[in-house]
Structure 1
Amino acid sequence: MAFMKKAPAKKNTKGGENTPAKARKKPMKIARTAQEIIDFDYITEDGIIISGNYYSKLYKLIDSNFVTEPEDKQVDYLVNYTKLMNRFPDNVDISVIIINERNTKEDITAAYHLKEAGDGLDEYRTDYNHIIDKKIEEGHNEISKEKYIMLTIRTANGLSQAEMEFNSADVSLQEAVKTINKVGVKQLDAIDRLAVMQKILRGSDCVPFHKEYERYFAKHKDDEGNEKLSLDLPALRKSGVSVKDLIAPQVIAKTRQCIQLDDERYCKSYAYANLPQQLDTSFLTNVTNLPYEMVTVIQFKPVPRKKALQLVKMQNTSVKADVIKASQQAYKSGYSTDLINEDLIQAREDAGKLRHDVVNEGKKLFFATMVVSIFGKDDEEIKNITAQYTAKCADYSVTPSYLIGQQVAGLNTAILCGNSKVIIDRMLTSDNACALFPFNIQELTDKKGHFYGSNAISKNMVMYDRKRSRLANGLIFGQSGSGKSFITKGEIIPNLLDGNDDMIILDPENEYHVVAEHFGGRTIDLELKSQYHINPCDMAMEWDDPKATPLAEKCDYMVGLVESILGKGRECNIYETNAIHRACTRMYEDYIEEMTRRHRDGCEEGQSDELDTEICPTLVEFYNELMADGTQEGTKVALAVEQYCIGNYNVFAHHTNIEGHSRLTIYNLLYLPEKMTEMAMKVCLSNIWTKIVKNREENEKYHTGKAIWVYLDEFHHFFKTESSASTVMAYYKRVRKYGGIMTGITQDVADLLSTRQGTAMFNNTGFFIFLNQSPIGRQQLQNLYGISDALIDYIKDKPSGTGLIYNNSVIIPIDYKLPTDSELYHIMSTNPNDEARKTAIKRKANEEFDGEKEDEE
């Protein structure tokens, strides 16, 4: 890994050995390996890079929707950015970094195209891929930008002192950035930081750091019990490998104008020597809008107050002296002082303003070093990129300067070693620094994500990998006609085509049957005379979860089920609740005893100690136990539910008989009378939970990694009573731990936020889609998440498919539209004729239900 040839030694012809020691220059150390060029000493597990007395941390910066904000809000953001600059002591440097990564069409399609599987569904994968291709052409998807902030602490007191100072600096940084993007920053540990450095040095085509060096990672649990990776530094030392070995390219060699990093990878660095007095805040965004690999680093080094006062006074005095000298020269030459060089006059005004800002206003002074490093496959490509970059800079009267003799320093600045040694800088106040504002617009482009529409502002694709997010549970809201079911199908279909996960849909209105027909799914049509039976009393034992209390949860569930039968929001009083709990406890005694025996002694062939639907009690036993309770309340409840247990509406009073497996299962409730919808939804939810428990057991045995995605349409039905809301909330909170992902679908956020459990559910949700909302709903969202008026407008009387997507980090305005000539568009679209047919089916079911009620009376 040679850096450069060592120049042959020259004889000293002028002094020889008699030259005084002070006159002899200390010989320059010649780097012989690429690793020696990389300018840092060490990295800690939590990502602190040490370089002499410099200690730096790198933080991922989530963008803000600055361009969508009104002018007064933008001013607030700039003021908060100024405050960010002023928050830190004088020994803390602040660097703002923008890393451009070029995405060719081949790169994008490799990341987002679905691969053929030979399962009879490849025609739909091809159609999906064609949609992706069209969306690539519509946006600026060839550019992806990653933004970071780096803090560098200068201290001679060692790592422990730096860590103490970082404890305070971390908090300050989080608080300051949250005032701009609402989510703050994410600190990069050693693995993530080295991955960034490796990609800059070797290019985005290199083997990903996490994949190439997995053998040097240690696994452990974080405070929340989630698996986390850290760099195993002892393992590195044992293998004789340094951290620089992990990121270094094959060579770092000087050419005439560039630094060579590989056969087809070169780097050339520039700096901004001067900036105009006035610079638009769009500068950084626009000059980095090039589809090439670039790294822009702006390092702000605070100047201590005393030194700042001296500097501005000296500068002011020096410029004034130049003006006086020019005036005297004009007088001697016989021309008016009004003809003095305008640049000199402007320099005097600038120096005077700078002195006023620092001396009178107390503003902080910085030395700003602004470096851009351009990467290309050869000198010619870099020359071409530089020409485009220079042209963009020229629009702002800025000229980038080639770093003569400082290309190595420029490279080390680009790879974020924490201590830029580029010696070109410019004095700025914190107010001036606002012009170098890094925030612009939020994007969402997960590399393994699926399509969630286009960013309504940038037109780039919104690609999100929901399954691998920290909080995968989701809520989808949209008034009638806003495209709620269309966008939900748009999430379900790629998940069916990509991976082995199962999809389960609770479908009160038969919205999703077409998806089942095309993708080999199974639709379970539930009706009063249904061939399918689901027993709401099925109970999984959940032996693997020591915190599980299946009997207590089933008792609460049965209370909610009774309340659904009672209807009209009627809740059981404490006496009725106690009667239900007693009945449940008795009817499960034999079942629990048998399952416990199996768990203790082992199961016979074909048996399970987790769930046995053949011996579970049913609503018939529930009714009998209520009648046998011997209390007025027990009898009252039994008579209220009698028709659903042993009467004409006993569709759910039988043992479960749904056998077999399908990757897509739809519970269709359209054929049930409307008055049974809420009850049926709860029955189906109980059945879904048993599938989730079973899937968890199989995952632990066979390590399938399979998730079950559960979609609950008309979700508001679960919040009509306190007990029902508590039951669904309990499922919702636990489902992720069991390998499930649950999504509630309803019309208005106000439906959920009107209940205590619904409000709590928002706090346990990491994925939201908001389509058109009522005025009350829009106001509630603004109160919850501080959404700007400009963004909230995307859910106010907009066309179908227009809305907002929020993943607890970014809020993206989306436009979810598919080409009308695509097959998937026709599958996902709702046929207007279907609405009339569904209305007729529901009316018939209601009439049959009401007719049987009259016959009973």
Structure 2
Amino acid sequence: MLGYEAMMPSGIAWLGEDEWSMTLAISDINYVAAAEDQQTSIVDRWARFINSYGAGTRLQETIMNRVLDDADVSQLVQKPLRGDQFDFYRSDFNRIVRDKLAAASGNTVTEKYLTVTVQEPDLEKAEATLTRIFHEAEAGLQAMDGCKVRRLNRAERLEGFSHILRPHELFVFNEDEFEPNRKLSTADFVAPWEIDAKDKNGPLIFRNGSGDTYHTVLWMRDYPVWLSDRLISELTEIKCDLTISLHLEPLEQVEGMTLVQRQIAELEMQKITEQKRATKQGIDPEMIPAAVKDNLKEAQDLRDELRSSNQKLFSTVMVLGVSATSREKLEQNVKRVMTVIRKQSCTAEVATYMQLDGLTTELPIGRRRIPMRRTLTTAGAAIIVPFTTQELFVPGGNWYGVNAQSSNALVADRTSTTNGNGFILGTSGSGKSQSGKMEITNVLLSRPDDDIIVIDPEHEYEPLIEAFGGEVIRIHAGSEQRVNPMDIELNVTTSEDDPINAKCEFVLTMLEALVGGKAGLTPEQRSVADRSTLTLYRKYAAEGGAMPTLVELREALAQSGEDAGRELARMLEIYTIGSLGGFSNRTNVNPRNRLVSWDISKLGNELRTFGMMVILDQIWNRVARNRAEGRRTWLYIDEFHLLFSNKYSADYFRGLYKRARKWGLIPTGITQNIEELLANQDARLMLANCDFLLLLGQNATDADSLCELLHFSDEQRRFFTNVQPGHGLMRSGNAVIPMDGRIPTDSALYKLFSTSFGEK
């Protein structure tokens, strides 16, 4: 019944005689939400892909729709209570997730597989052939919007069988335990305890320890001449356990043409027979059944199409397996499936007397046990495109809400993409701050080994920071909180250079910003400043004691005995013992707290560049220290566009986004001023090259600019224009998902996040 004789650890299955198969998991792409020309391109590429396979190779497309229990999904997303002071917020978060899923979610997981069957005399040759085919498929499908291809090993293939045959059982196959103890076969881990197949029309009843599963196999009897590309997508929108398997066996063009010519000859003979019968009855010979004429015309058109193109003929069979926990639910699910099939002008039937053979044909193993076949051209086979609505559910990731199209949970892991760099963009009131704070909360409650840093120019993160025991550092001239710009980490490498040399270079840059003016420091001033700074740090490294400060640097410059040094000392007076001396003392805050917010809301223009330099230096020291300790750092920069009005900050963040991945840093820029951000070429490059993007409500002009830069379709554009707060479009890696990130206004987290006037 399972359709294979043996399965190797590599995932290659021996089907008997000279047939071998492997299964590839293929990621979904957002075909439904793509523009029409992009959909055409996807179908064309898929046609070329399946057309590349020749006779002797069979393909099986399998789309597996599984419904997860609300409790199961909630369990995967929710935060376990830890018995600490934050359990109040974990409980509130868990309530939000439960209510959101219960209200809307379909909780369906759709998995797509491609099983390839080849004919080879032995395992060694089969392994070589299938490996080559895998690499070709990987390259060919990557061109379709970055579709990912992964080859399944034995455990992964068996787990797919288990989802169909033991849907509510825990999959227990373990490769390490199986190999040493071969008392069982692989089939024992996936086959039902018993299959009741007494009824010729089904359903099959899979009896397992957790209860019975009722399963009916349908087969697609006929397709219309003009088949729609919506067949698979509408079937997968049904909330039920459903497996769709389409088998494709390519015929060589000569063989295909011979088959068509034979069909035409048979239809012409049938036409002649009907004409003779009409003549005998005194009827016009042309008055023959329309079906005969239509079939002959269709066959002749097919012959002409094969002659004028490189299309092939495919011998195909499609089966659909529908499951439920009771007969009543199964009948309802079958009716819903048949309704969709009829809506697409197709015809399906129950596989009478062939339920077991239909089940084998359904399983992603590459066997076609039912004898019925339907011939399709490459174009006809390709239009049954397996791609539908993209989902994103990465276990262990952060919760962002639900998919606005399917209402399934939306969970992404920025640590698993090529780079974690990101942006959250939206007009005022679109929910961007709430989205950023929700992600911060996710990290705080789920990733105890990660640190979070926030740059807050609008003084709006303090409630969140204080609620989670973080440190708010207010940076401005009159602040009692002090940060020493001369702080150095001697035991942490912040660059490829020696820590002291790297810090001396930073001090020179800082002095340029403070007192250099438009012309910058003179060579003499740079020389004496570098020498004085180097002396201070070498003394500190050798003797220890208190960290050097700007006051001590000014004193060293004054005592250098050089005019350039004394001049620099006079220029630094206002920043050390004068009215702008807020950065002249030793640090009296805790920048090493797990959660730190740098509040720059009162940082005036006079000290803005210098203050940002100090903050960014502190942040990079923290990132370098965390990297050495194996800790990840999340950095959130609100009102990101403001930083690009300052050349130093702009240059710094351009470099930071390039270096972030190697240093375990995940930076996120948050802004409502999209136009100003897009006007900066560096910011545009950063935006185009980040792997995470939240586009919340945008005005029409900004939406057009973003679509042009990021290549979003008109269909995708509508998800971030004229939408409610909390709605938008999320891109994570290659996945582009419409999102609904709203949370209830009566929740504790909403009150903590809200910046709306009157809601505090």
TM-score norm. by structure 2 comes to 0.86
- Whether the aligned pair in 2 keeps the contact of 1:506 and 1:681 (CA below 8 Å) is no
1:667 alignment partner, one of 588, 594, 598: 598
Find the residue that maps to 1:285 and give its secondary structure: helix
Structure 1 residue 125 and structure 2 residue 56: aligned?
Answer: no
In 1, distance between residues paired with 2:522 and 2:261? 80
Match of 2:666 among 738, 741, 747: 741
Displacement after TM superposition at 1:512 (Å): 0.8
Q: Deviations over 1:455-500 (max 9, x none)?
A: 3444444332335555333222334443321221122223334452
Query: Displacement of 1:372 after TM fit?
Result: 1.6
Change (3 A) 1:461 1:790: same
**Inter-CA distance 483–269: structure 2 relative to 1 (3 Å threshold):** same
Whether 2:34 is the aligned partner of 1:109: answer no
Contact 1:253 1:260 in 2 (8 A): yes
C-alpha separation in 1, matches of 2:715 and 2:205? 45
- Greater mean alpha carbon deviation, residues 307-316 or residues 632-641: 632-641
For 2:417 and 2:293, the matched residues in 1 are separated by 57
Q: Which amino acid aligns with 1:685?
A: L
Partner Cα separation in structure 2 for residue 117 and residue 569 of structure 1? 55
Aligned to 2:734: 809
- Taking the aligned partners of 2:240 and 2:218, their CA distance within structure 1 comes to 15
Q: Measure the CA separation in 1 of the matches of 2:519 and 2:360.
A: 69
- Please, which of 779, 789, 794 is the counterpart of residue 714 of structure 2? 789
Q: Report the residue type matching 2:340 in the other structure.
A: K
Q: CA deviation at 1:322?
A: 1.8
Instruction: Note if contact 1:748-1:774 (Cα within 8 Å) is conserved in structure 2.
Output: no
Contact 1:750–1:777 (Cα < 8 Å) also in 2? yes
1:789 partner amino acid:
D
* C-alpha displacement of 1:787: 1.5
Within-5 A mapping of 1:92-491? 92-156=57-121, 159-160=124-125, 163=128, 166-167=131-132, 170-171=135-136, 173-176=138-141, 178-179=143-144, 182-190=145-153, 193-194=156-157, 196-201=159-164, 203=166, 205-207=168-170, 213=174, 216=176, 236-240=178-182, 244=186, 247-249=189-191, 251=193, 253-256=195-198, 257=202, 258=204, 260=206, 262-263=208-209, 264-337=212-285, 340-377=288-325, 381-404=329-352, 406-469=354-417, 471-491=419-439
Residue 523 of structure 1: aligned partner: 472
Contact 2:161 2:364 in 1 (8 A): no
Deviations 1:34-64 (A, max 9, x none): xxx451533354x544545445443433333
Q: Distance in 2 between matches of 1:664 and 1:807?
A: 25
Q: Deviation at 1:508?
A: 1.7
CA contact (8 A) 1:174 1:184 kept: no
Q: 1:135 to 1:570 in 2, by over 3 A?
A: farther
Q: 1:151 Cα shift?
A: 3.7
CA offsets 1:293-347 (integer angstroms, 9 cap, x no match): 2211112221111101101111111122222222322333344556533333332
> RMSD between aligned alpha carbons?
3.9
SS for the counterpart of 1:144 is strand
Distance 1:761 1:123 in 2: 37
Aligned residue identity for 1:534: V
Tell me, yes or no, if the aligned pair for 1:804 and 1:813 is still in contact at 8 Å: yes
Q: Distance in 2 between matches of 1:752 and 1:656?
A: 33
- The separation in 2 between residues aligned to 1:161 and 1:575, in whole angstroms, is 74
Q: Amino acid of the residue matched to residue 49 of structure 2? A: L
Query: Which one of 451, 456, 462 corresponds to residue 507 of structure 1?
Result: 456
The 1-side partners of 2:21 and 2:446 are apart by 40
Which one of the candidate residues 44, 61, 68 is aligned to 1:79?
44
Aligned equivalent of 1:679, options 607, 610, 629: 610
Structure 2 counterpart of 1:403, which letter? A
Q: What is the correspondence of 1:714-729 to structure 2 with a 5 Å cutoff?
A: 714-716=639-641, 718-719=643-644, 724-725=649-650, 727-729=652-654
Structure 2: distance between partners of 1:409 and 1:792: 46
* Residue 550 of structure 1: how far off its partner (Å): 3.5
Tell me if the contact between 1:87 and 1:172 (Cα under 8 Å) persists in the aligned partners.
Answer: no
Range moving further from structure 2, 156-165 or 785-794: 156-165
Residue among 515, 539, 543 paired with 1:590: 539
Aligned to 2:586: 655
CA distance in 2, matches of 1:267, 1:830: 52
Q: Is the 8 A contact 2:575 2:582 kept in 1?
A: yes
8 Å Cα contact 2:28-2:112 kept in structure 1: yes
Check 1:370–1:509 CA distance in 2 against 1; reply closer, same or farther (3 A cut): same
Aligned length, in residue pairs = 752
Give the whole-Å Cα distance in 1 for the aligned partners of 2:698 and 2:572.
37
CA distance in structure 1 between the aligned counterparts of 2:517 and 2:21, rounded to whole angstroms:
62
C-alpha contact (below 8 Å) 1:261/1:267 kept by paired residues: no
Percent pairwise identity = 25
Q: Are the counterparts in 1 of residues 108 and 408 from structure 2 also a CA contact under 8 Å? A: no
Cα distance in 2, alignment partners of residues 780 and 575 from structure 1:
48
| Secondary structure of 1:503 counterpart | strand
Q: Distance in 2 between matches of 1:401 and 1:283?
A: 16
* SS in structure 2 of the partner of residue 67 of structure 1: coil
Provide the C-alpha distance between the structure 2 equivalents of 1:103 and 1:569, rounded to a whole number of angstroms.
64
Q: Summarize deviations over 1:359-382 as a string: whole Å, max 9, x none.
A: 233422111221222233355543
Point out the more displaced range, 285-294 or 143-152.
143-152
Unpaired runs of 5+ residues, structure 2, are none
Cα distance in 2, alignment partners of residues 64 and 471 from structure 1: 20
296-305 or 90-99, larger mean C-alpha shift: 90-99
1:88 corresponds in structure 2 to 53
Distance in 1, matches of 2:361 and 2:543, equals 69
Amino acid corresponding to residue 255 of structure 1 in structure 2: A
| Contact 1:93/1:151, CA 8 A, preserved across alignment | yes
SS in 1 for 2:387: coil
1:550 alignment partner AA = P
- Cα 1:708–1:172 shift into 2, 3 Å: closer
In the alignment, the residues of structure 2 paired with residue 627 and residue 205 of structure 1 have an alpha-carbon distance, to the nearest angstrom, of 79
- Counterpart CA distance in 1 for 2:102 and 2:112 is 24
Corresponding letter in the other structure for 1:253? I
User: What SS class does the counterpart of residue 50 from structure 2 fall into?
Assistant: helix
Contact preservation (8 Å) 1:569, 1:721: no
Q: Is the 8 A contact 2:30 2:387 kept in 1?
A: yes
Q: Aligned pair in 2 of structure 1 residues 331, 756: CA closer, same or farther (>3 Å)?
A: same
Q: Paired residue for 1:819, among 741, 744, 747?
A: 744
Give the Cα separation in 2 of the matches to 1:723 and 1:677.
Answer: 11
CA distance in 2, matches of 1:579, 1:773: 52
How far apart are the structure 2 equivalents of 1:625 and 1:51?
83
- Structure 1 counterpart of 2:483, one-letter code: I
Deviation at 1:175, TM superposition (A): 3.7
Q: CA deviation at 1:285?
A: 1.4
The alpha-carbon deviation at position 432 of structure 1 amounts to 1.1
Counterpart-to-counterpart distance in 2, 1:208 and 1:86: 36
Instruction: List per-residue Cα deviations over 1:246-305 (Å, max 9, x = no partner).
Output: 842453535223263624235443321322222221111112322222211112221111
Which residues of 2 match residues 564-643 of structure 1 at below 5 A? 564-565=513-514, 584-593=533-542, 615-624=546-555, 641-643=572-574
Q: Distance in 1 between matches of 2:29 and 2:518?
A: 43
Alpha-carbon distance in 2 for matches of 1:673, 1:545: 29
